[in-house]
Amino acid sequence: MSISSHLPAAPTNIRDLAATAGIAEHWHDEHQIVYASSGVLAVHTDRSRWIAPAHRALWIPAGTVHSHRAYGVTRLHLFGFPQELSPLSVTEPTALAVTPLLRELLIAYTELGGDRSTPAGQRMRAVLFDQLALAPERPVRVPAAHDPRLVAVCQSLEADPSDSRSLEALGRTVGASARTLTRLFRADTGMTFPQWRTQLRLYHALRLLVEGRSVTSVAQLCGFATTSAFIDVFRRSLGHTPGFYLHSGQFDGARRDSPRTG
């Protein structure tokens, strides 16, 4: 059984993580915004996994036991603040869309280490709260399964996101009908099976893109029927094409000679 650390104050600072590095399970008495200005960051709880590229920030409510995992060389901007100052009412980790203004505010404020001793620092934090209150929620989230039969199905798809078997075919491997698994997906994850599988594929797609894989190869490895279908789902879910992320410079260390589309 894992033991989580209690860190009462959520820090406001910058932290650099090497590729595949992580931060062990812990929790704070304060809320925290975690933003990766380069690389890709995943946040894990016992209920779900969230993943955030550079146009998403992760909101982590006070008291949430969580851990971090970096994909690619990742620069984290951590912004902690007391619960009574919360600009949002969400009660579980949430991915927020980051506008260009919010991005620059998060970078600048964390570079200052959250200094509120100056009028400039106080004004910057006030604008940050205003921008966070306006930020729409656009998550890539993979909820965890609990029923043993559903866990087995999910683990199989985790091992091979390109697996395109139907729920009926997957059910035969765990001794459950498609109808039963459909019910379990809704009960355990709050999603339909197609919704959950799409989130899983997007989660893995972001991990593969940070490795410098081409858009075409990522589409194949993640089970999308065509590259154009992958680009369309990616754009609708994240607001940009996968090619945009590859060209944006977010994925430090990505192979610049790999073919790209989208």
Does pLDDT of 247 surpass 70? no
Handedness of CA 106, 110, 116, 120 (dihedral sign): negative
In this prediction, residues 177-205 reach a mean pLDDT of: 96
Which segment of 34-43, 145-154, 155-164, 185-194 scores lowest on mean pLDDT?
34-43
Model pLDDT, residue 160:
97
How far is it, in rounded angstroms, from Cα 173 to Cα 151?
A: 12
How far is it, in rounded angstroms, from Cα 38 to Cα 260?
A: 19
Q: Which CATH code fits 5-139?
A: 2.60.120.280
pTM: 0.81
Model pLDDT, residue 158:
95
In this prediction, residues 165-182 reach a mean pLDDT of: 96
Question: Which tops the pLDDT comparison, 192 or 112?
Answer: 192
CA distance to 95, 180, 183, per residue, from 186 (Å): 21, 10, 5
- Domain residue ranges in the chain: 5-139, 145-247
φ, ψ (nearest 5 deg) of residue 138: -140, 75
Does pLDDT of 13 surpass 50? yes
pLDDT digits (tens, 9 = 90+) for 60-111: 999 999 999 998 889 999 999 999 999 988 888 888 989 999 999 999 999 9
What would you measure as the largest C-alpha separation in the chain, in angstroms? 64
N residues, the chain: 262
The CATH label, of 1.10.10.60, 3.40.50.2000, 1.20.1070.10, 1.10.132.50, for the domain at 145-247 is 1.10.10.60
Does pLDDT of 146 surpass 90? yes
Model pLDDT, residue 2:
56
